Amino acid sequence: MATRRTVPVEIDIGTVALAELAAARHGMPVADWIARAARRELVSISPGPNSVEFTEAEMLAEDAQQAADEAAITADEATRFRAAG
């Protein structure tokens, strides 16, 4: 079992919403999903025999996709808020 440590983290609401959605789809707690995502990210950025550098255009496209995803989540939350009354 892993040793756990509670630390303060500042994350924007859109990112938290994405993490909650992803964790729910995997049927796991958000903290576990974030830990798994952090490990996966470390592996993806660690140099290896198959490492690939992203171009600036690819990074911009990824940032644009993240912004679009966050906007969609914000719109969904606003719709649910209005429906809840």
Question: Does residue 50 fall inside a structural domain?
Answer: no
- 8 Å CB contact between 73 and 18: yes
Number of domains making up the chain = 1
Q: Which domain holds residue 62?
A: 13-44+56-84
Cβ neighbours around 38 below 10 Å, total: 10
Reading the chain (85 residues) residue by residue, the pLDDT tens digits are 567 778 888 889 999 999 999 999 999 999 899 989 888 888 777 777 666 677 888 888 888 988 898 889 889 888 888 888 7
Question: Does residue 21 fall inside a structural domain?
Answer: yes
Long-range contacts of 74-77 (CB under 8 A, 24+ apart): 74/14, 74/17, 77/17
Question: Does residue 62 fall inside a structural domain?
Answer: yes
